[in-house]
Structures are given as structure tokens and as C-alpha cells.
Structure 1
Amino acid sequence: MTSQPHLAKEDRRPAAPGNPGNTPGTVEAPVTGGGDELKAGLKNRHLSMIAIGGVIGAGLFVGSGSGIAAAGPAILLSYAIVGTMVVLVMRMLGEMAAANPASGSFSEYADRALGRWAGFSIGWLYWFFWVVVLAVEATAGAVILEGWIPAIPQWGWALIVMVVLTATNLVSVSSYGEFEFWFAGIKVVAIGGFVIIGLLAVFGILPGSDNPGAGFAHLTDTHGFMPNGAGSILTGVLMVVFSFMGSEIVTLAAGESEDPQRAVTKATNSVIWRIGVFYLGSIFVVLTLLPWNDKSIEKDGSYVAALNSIGIPHAGQVMNVIVLTAVLSCLNSGLYTASRMAFSLGKRGDAPRAFGRTDGSGVPRTAILASVVFGFVAVFFNYMWPKTVFAFLLNSSGAVALFVWLVICFTQLKMRGIIQRESPEKLVVKMWLFPVLTWVTIAAISFVLVYMLFDDAGREQVLLSLLVAALVLGIAVVREWVWARRRRVGA
């Protein structure tokens, strides 16, 4: 059963319409009886692999080539900057999640610490982000599968992968965990193997390697470490920041595990080496195997180009299998994450009540089906109006990752005091140098958002994301005003 946080006694705000058992501004109240409880169906090995693989998306395999082309070897600094931000944000989120594991994670914490408007807004924005991701990943997987079996059109493959993964999520949370365990395992083994093979080639001890030019000299021998100037580091930051989205999934999943506190603590403590090995380590290997301006890096993808450079046979096809696995993993986790956020919103009265109910297996069936329906609609838009309607959806969700991280920071500033006052023994994970590093992280994220406004590629994403955020926030404020008015009239 989902572990529930302690409720603040001083919160006297009105209950949500149709949800009198849950006080707005607090996290989920404990519930009894069947029909509205998640079950602890995730095992420790599931949570461990979700934590390890959660930061590895298809963007690392496919999109890293564009970042290298834009910033050269300095892209390592871009990854290091974003990686540091993610480590700090995960530390803050880990502090709150270890103390109060909850199905809505940061949305529930924001609800309590900042106000109902915050939990409502960031919850729906996060749900919107993952619904759009479902369409992106389903299409990406369909492109690969159509290349293998062209008899089935792209839209057919997109439909197949969506239906299959929807079915696994509907069966039970353990089936989601099992699928994700193997998906994430393949990604982890693939990147680990890539790093080891690449380093062996760099040091000249890989049997059969035919890349005598590989070495650390590639980091500086083509117009220096920063061939496009220091500003390219920030350009690289904008290109790689969204490939880190998903690190927070483990804190949502922890609520359905047998030992949530242990799972969150372990995931939080391991995030540094995960980012160091999988992101910095793999990109470092690419940059030492090939000059950063080698055309094949952007054309074929950084991993395929690197493997081809040392004579690994069928590198392209091998990487296609791995990329497909990453796509299916992201699709699987995206559906899980969207449905659990919808479930949490339903439990708090911020979404239809049916979203907050579960079946006999503890699965929020309505929340899953509602999320996948919108996912199918987004896929339809992608095929019918890719340059207009779907482009708007994609760009308007582009900066949501940064909004989520910013809300986590502000929430942690207030939640630390609440936890210390009510349950100090639950502070088993603590943010380093609090509150200094929290404010530093807020400043860094804010700087990236502002910088995006002056970047031709990022400006549209920020403005459209702000537009959607303002719309959702406006709905939240109007709802609060209506409820407050009803309370005054009723009194």
C-alpha cells in the first residue's frame, strides 16, 4: 500500500468539490477499503533498475550527435552542468520522497508546501509533458520497426507498440516493473559495454581495432577544446537538458514498492555515478574515438559513428535495437508516470474522481486509459498535422522539465521546515549545504530559462510553455476563488 505522509493540522482550507476526504493543500490522505489504493507491486530489483535506467533516454543515443556538432568537446561541460543540476534537484526530491513517499511525488509536495494552485498546475503540466512524449516515442519506435518490416505502415507500428505497452500497464504494476527492468537492463548493459569497448580502443588494447588515431588528443586537436567559443557550452546545455527528464520517475514509483524509503535513498545516492558513467562517460568515449567535427557523428549518430570507427560489425543495426529498447522503455515509463500523476490529481480532487480509483489489482485503470487516449490523439496529430498542431504540442511542453525542477526547488525550501517540525526522524536524506545549494540551483535553472529566450531555437519553446503554464495556473486560481466564494456563501 502507498505510504502516506503526515497531514498538517493547521491547514483549514476548503475541501475539493466531490472529494471531502482530502484537504486541499495537503498530500493524499490515508484511505481504507478497496478501489482507491495503489498496491506495493514493485520489487527492489525493479526500483533499482528504474533508478539506473531512468536517466537514459533515446535522446542520448540519437540526439547527442547534434550537441557534439554544436559545441565540440566542450559539450562535456554542457553535460556536466546539466548533470550537476539534476543531481541537486534529485537530492532535494529524494529528501522529500524519503520522508513522505507518495504517488504524486513533487506535485503532492508542492500542493502542501506552496499551495493547491502549485500542486494542480505542476501536476497537470507534468502529465501533459508525458502524454506528448508518448506520441514522440511511439512515432520514433514505429520508424525503426517499419524499417525492419515495411509491410506494416508507420501508423500501424505506432498503434501496436501503444496497445502492447498499455496492456502491460493495465495488468498490474509488477508487469510494468518487469518490462522496465529488462528494458532498462538492456540500456545499461549497452552503454556499459560501449564505454568499456571504447576505452579499450582508446588505449590501443582492443583486439582487431582499426582506429589508430583514437586518443585523448581528439579533445583539443581540432580547433581546441572550445572550437565554437565559450557560448557554445550554453547552446549545448539547451540541447542536452531535456534528455535528462525522467530522473524523477523513481520517486513516483517508490510509492508502489515494498520499502519506499530505502528505494528512494538508494536511487538518490547513486544518481551521481549514474550520470557520470552513462552521460559523461559515453560522450567522452565518442570524443576520444573521433574528431568532434567528423561528419558521421551527426549523420549516423554518435554511438554508431564511434563503433564504426573501431571496426565493430553491423554497428548501425545493433544500435537500432538498443535505440528501440530505449524508445519502448521511455514509452512504458511515460505511460506509467502520466497515469500515476493523473491518479494523484484525482485523489486530491484536481482531476475527475474516477482517475483516483483502482481496480482489484491496485491499478488506476481509468487514469491509464485516459492518459493513453490523449497519447493516441497526439500520435494522430503527429501524422495529420506534424508542422502545426503537433509542433505546438511539442514546443509548448518543451520547457516543462525546467518548470518541474524549479517547483521542486521552491517546494523543498518549505518542506524542509515542515518535516523538521513534524517528523524530524524522517530526514534520512538531506540536501547538501541547505539552503545555499537550493538557491544556487534555482538561480541556475532560472538562468537557463532566461537564456532560452535569447536563443533562436529555445525562444519558441519557452514562450509556448509559459503560455500553457499560464493557462493551467489561471484555471487553478479560478478554481480556488470559486471554492473560497462557496465557502463564504455556505458560512
Structure 2
Amino acid sequence: MDNEQTVKQTVRHKKAENREQGQTSGLAWWQLSLIGIGSIIGAGFFLGTSLSIKTAGPAILIDYLFAGITAFFVFSALAEMTVMDPVTGSFRTYAKKAFGNSIGFISGWMYWLAGVLIISSEAVALATFTQFWFPHIPLWIFTVIYIVIAFGINLLGVKNFGKIESIFAIVKLSTLIIFIIFGALLLTHVISPHSVSLNEKSVFKHFVPTGIKGMWSALIFVFFSFGGIEVIGIASSELKNKKDVPKAGIGMLIALVSVYILSIYFALYMVTWNKIDESQSPFVTALASFNLPYMDSIFNIIIISAAFSTMVGALFSVTNILISLAEDGAAPKSLATKNHRGIAVRSLYLTGFAVAASLIFSFILPGKLYEYITTAAGVMLILNWTIILSSQIKLRPNYKQNGATFKMAGFPFTSYMGIAFILVAVSGAMLHATQRMGVLISLGLIIIIGFTYQIIFRSKHIPQKN
């Protein structure tokens, strides 16, 4: 009996020690990296890259490097705050600590609203891709099926969610890596198909065919390819060791930038940039001349897995942000209540109702208008990056006295540079009609969120937590 008591005390002390060191029984750092990759590489990259290439030509490679550097600055700022001050709510909690309740409110609801719109747009995309095989089945049926499955995965709990997202991330990464290897074998003439005329003059012959204006206007599309890196901060609360956040994020970004740039380079090596069709994946266009069997169906499956995992990851992120808002009194308190599996079912259901409403609008609104709204969702995600960087600039002095385990390199220059890069990308969107409307709508939605805060909390006070 004494031995049993001793064991129990030892276990309790070990758990307490782990909590003090930031350790939990949650995710490993590589799982968090894969969750980030799964949440970021979506159908937008596999399909939307065609529009980016048509806009900027081969110079899109520079845009991806530019966006990758910016994403690294944003992640570094978020990682520093997460390691130095691990809190639930991630970036919106840091915004609140840095600038007060109103900015924390705006940041959180911006992210939640953008996430809801992205989830609904991914669901519609998934249904559209699935109709490739079943053209006579109504679109809404596939949409409902994918939404139900995504909610089911999130109801399984964080461990099962992490495993499933990791599998999807591996599928997407493996696909791009296989494509890169295939391109490398062509480049080194290990494979020399006689029936295919490769871009032997090199991708770099006419590197900037549309000029600086083309590169600038395409930049916002490229930034969208990195949208969702905030999930690293949000899901970091589930890490076994909070000090592994930098490792997880750096691993994720190195993988993303590498596969993005290399895969696009080899696509441009296989086919001239001006022959890429905006309505088709550049990778399908690049491989089409090789007459590979079942290529359309294979890539359709890959795009479906990409869109689905992005949707599942976004659902996880926005639900957790809603929990944080509820805990701070910026949303109904009941939304923070969790079941025995640690899932805030009410937050998940509320998000589900919002997604359902968004889907209804997607079917009844004119296509162009809904396109503007979904573009605005992406712009809001990118604009939220400026809040992350600004929060880190404001909060950094509070961390100086602590024994830092991770600090953003080059501070404050890299923080300000990141904000400048984001503003350059967003301003470039004003050169394109659809993107311009997306920017204006996003600014309008942010103003509405700000007014909502003033109306609801004019006579109330959200407690400031430190």
C-alpha cells in the first residue's frame, strides 16, 4: 500500500514537473510540422499556381522566395511569443496583451470569419473535384458529405486529428517530391523521352516576361499559399514540449519553401510558362505530354486530399480560436465548455452553423461576388500577420529579463521588414480587379468587427489576462 502511494505521488510530481517545463502528453514536434503542412498546402497551390504563373511568368519563383521569407519572419515572431509566454489563444491572446481587448477581439474574430469562409470554399471545391467522376450527382450532396467527415475527424480528439492530418500531409509532400524527382531525372537526362520537347533553353531565358508589375500583382496569390501558418501557434498548446515550437515551425517552412519552388521550377522546365492553362493544375499541364495513364484521376485524388486536409486543419484552428475568445469573454462563455475528450463541442457546432450559412450563400450569390468574399478571407489571414508581428514588437521588452530559449533573429529590423513585405503584397493585389475587391471587402469586414466590439462592449469590460 505504501509502495502504491509512493508511485502515485511520483506520477503526480512528474506531471507537475512536465507542466512546469512545458511538457504534455500531446503531439511530437514533427507531428505539429505535418499538421502545419497539411493545413497550408491546399487545392489553391495545386490549382491556383497556374494563375500566378500566368500573371508573373517564371519570376513567380522569386515571389515564392519572397513570401517564404515573410512567412519565416511571421513564424519567428509567433514562436518567440509562444516559447516565452505559452498561452491558449496564441496570436489573438498576444494581440490582446500588446494592444488591449479590442485588438485581441478583432484579431480573433478576423481569423474565425476568414477560416469559416475558407472551409466553405474548400468544401465547394471538394464537391466540384468529386463531380469529375460522378457528374450527375448534385454538388450539394458531396459538399455535405465532406463537411460531415471533417467534423467527425475533429470530434475524435487532438491525437487522432494529428494522426489523420499527418497522413494527408505525407500524401501531399510525397506527391510533390515524386514530381520533383521526376523533373530532376529529366533535367539530368537520366530520363530522355523522345516524344517530349522540354524547355531546354532553361526557365531563366525570359525570367520576367510580365515585368515588375506582373510579379507584384501575383504576390498576393503566392502569399495565400502560406496562409494558415498560425496553426502552428494554435496547435502548440497540444505539444509534448512547448520549447519544440521553433523546431516544428522551421521544419515546416523549410519543407514548404523547398517543395513549392522546386516543383514549380520543374513544371516550368517541362512546359513553357505561357502554355499553362489557368483552369488546370500546372503539374497536370506539365505531365500531359508524357501520356501517363490515369493522370487526371490521380491528380484529382491528390487535389481532393489537399483541399480536405486544409479544411480539417482550418476547422481545428478556428474552433480553438473561438474557445479562446469565449474564455476571455469575447464570445459566450458556454463555447469554452469541453467534453470528456477535451473537445469544445459547442464551439465546433457554432462554427458548423456558420459554415452551413456560408455554403448556402455560395450557392445563391452570384459566382463573382462569392469569389470576392473568399478572396477577402485570404486577405484577412495575411493582414492578421501584421498584428502578429506588431504584437511581438510591443511585447519583446517584457521577455528581456527571462532566460530566452528562442528569440527572433534580427529584431527589430526583421519584424518591421515582415510588416513592410505584407503591405507590399496586399498593395499589389490592388492591381488586379478581383483581388482589389477582395482587399476592399476584407477591410470592410474588419471595420464591421471593430464596430461590433464597440457596440457590444461599450458598457462592458473584457477582463485583461496576463
Q: Give me the TM-score of the superposition, normalised by structure 1.
A: 0.85
Contact 1:41/1:172 (8 A) holds in 2? no
Q: Give the one of 281, 305, 309 matched to 1:329.
A: 309
In the alignment, which residue of structure 2 is the partner of 1:315? 295
Select the structure that is richer in helix: 2
Q: Give the one of 319, 327, 333 matched to 1:353.
A: 333
In the alignment, which residue of structure 2 is the partner of 1:4? none
Distance 1:49 1:476 in 2: 35
- The answer to whether residue 71 in structure 2 is matched with residue 86 in structure 1 is yes
Residues 89-117 of structure 1 deviation map (CA, whole Å, 9 limit, x = unaligned): 11111111222333311001111111111
In the alignment, which residue of structure 2 is the partner of 1:17? none
- The answer to whether residue 350 in structure 2 is matched with residue 366 in structure 1 is no
In the alignment, which residue of structure 2 is the partner of 1:70? 55
Contact 2:38/2:313 (8 A) holds in 1? no
Distance 1:111 1:409 in 2: 13
Contact 1:201/1:211 (8 A) holds in 2? no
Contact 1:47/1:250 (8 A) holds in 2? yes
Distance 1:40 1:374 in 2: 32
Q: Give the one of 205, 211, 216 matched to 1:234.
A: 216
Secondary structure, counterpart of 1:96 in structure 2: helix
**Greater relative contact order structure (CA < 8 Å, 6+ sep):** 2
Distance 1:384 1:76 in 2: 37
Q: Give the one of 200, 219, 231 matched to 2:203.
A: 219
AA aligned opposite 1:182? I
Contact 2:33/2:251 (8 A) holds in 1? no
- The answer to whether residue 441 in structure 2 is matched with residue 440 in structure 1 is no
Distance 1:391 1:289 in 2: 31
In the alignment, which residue of structure 2 is the partner of 1:471? 448
Distance 2:369 2:438 in 1: 14
AA aligned opposite 1:119? G
Secondary structure, counterpart of 1:148 in structure 2: coil
Contact 1:40/1:257 (8 A) holds in 2? yes
In the alignment, which residue of structure 1 is the partner of 2:21? none
AA aligned opposite 1:121? I
Secondary structure, counterpart of 1:397 in structure 2: helix
Secondary structure, counterpart of 1:408 in structure 2: helix
Contact 1:209/1:311 (8 A) holds in 2? no
Change (3 A) 1:456 1:384: closer
Change (3 A) 1:150 1:455: closer
AA aligned opposite 2:186? A
How far 1:480 moved relative to its partner?
4.8
Residues 223-255 of structure 1 deviation map (CA, whole Å, 9 limit, x = unaligned): x21111121110110222212101221211110
How far 1:319 moved relative to its partner?
0.8
AA aligned opposite 1:373? F
Structure 1 runs not aligned, ≥5 long: 1-38
- The answer to whether residue 183 in structure 2 is matched with residue 198 in structure 1 is yes
- The answer to whether residue 278 in structure 2 is matched with residue 293 in structure 1 is no
Distance 2:331 2:95 in 1: 16
Contact 1:102/1:252 (8 A) holds in 2? no
Counterparts of residues 11-26 of structure 1 (less than 5 Å): none
Distance 1:271 1:172 in 2: 22
In the alignment, which residue of structure 2 is the partner of 1:429? 406
Larger deviation, residues 343-352 vs 264-273: 264-273
Residues 284-340 of structure 1 deviation map (CA, whole Å, 9 limit, x = unaligned): 111111111114x43432011112234433222111110000011011111111100
Distance 1:230 1:207 in 2: 35
Distance 2:268 2:139 in 1: 34
Change (3 A) 1:461 1:392: closer
- The answer to whether residue 377 in structure 2 is matched with residue 397 in structure 1 is yes
Contact 1:218/1:292 (8 A) holds in 2? no
How far 1:478 moved relative to its partner?
4.2
How far 1:70 moved relative to its partner?
1.4
- The answer to whether residue 29 in structure 2 is matched with residue 47 in structure 1 is no
Counterparts of residues 457-468 of structure 1 (less than 5 Å): 457-468=434-445
- The answer to whether residue 87 in structure 2 is matched with residue 109 in structure 1 is no
In the alignment, which residue of structure 1 is the partner of 2:140? 155
Change (3 A) 1:434 1:232: same
How far 1:349 moved relative to its partner?
0.6
Counterparts of residues 245-264 of structure 1 (less than 5 Å): 245-262=227-244, 264=245
How far 1:162 moved relative to its partner?
0.5
Distance 1:232 1:194 in 2: 26
Secondary structure, counterpart of 1:329 in structure 2: helix
Distance 1:454 1:293 in 2: 20
Residues 127-149 of structure 1 deviation map (CA, whole Å, 9 limit, x = unaligned): 00010011111111111222223
Contact 2:110/2:381 (8 A) holds in 1? no
How far 1:44 moved relative to its partner?
4.4
In the alignment, which residue of structure 2 is the partner of 1:265? 246
In the alignment, which residue of structure 2 is the partner of 1:128? 113
Residues 179-202 of structure 1 deviation map (CA, whole Å, 9 limit, x = unaligned): 111111100111111111111112
Structure 2 runs not aligned, ≥5 long: 1-23
Q: Give the one of 167, 172, 187 matched to 1:187.
A: 172
Contact 2:33/2:252 (8 A) holds in 1? no
Residues 406-459 of structure 1 deviation map (CA, whole Å, 9 limit, x = unaligned): 0011000012112224xx12x322111110111111122223333433543322
In the alignment, which residue of structure 2 is the partner of 1:342? 322
Distance 2:159 2:252 in 1: 23
Q: Percent identity?
A: 28
Contact 2:122/2:311 (8 A) holds in 1? yes
Larger deviation, residues 322-331 vs 171-180: 171-180
How far 1:82 moved relative to its partner?
1.3
AA aligned opposite 1:345? L
AA aligned opposite 2:180? V
Larger deviation, residues 320-329 vs 427-436: 427-436
Q: Give me the TM-score of the superposition, normalised by structure 2.
A: 0.89
Residues 15-39 of structure 1 deviation map (CA, whole Å, 9 limit, x = unaligned): xxxxxxxxxxxxxxxxxxxxxxxx8
Distance 1:440 1:313 in 2: 47
Residues 447-490 of structure 1 deviation map (CA, whole Å, 9 limit, x = unaligned): 33334335433221111111110111122244554236x99xxx
Distance 1:155 1:114 in 2: 42
Distance 1:251 1:147 in 2: 36
Q: Give the one of 354, 359, 362 matched to 1:379.
A: 359
Distance 1:444 1:121 in 2: 22
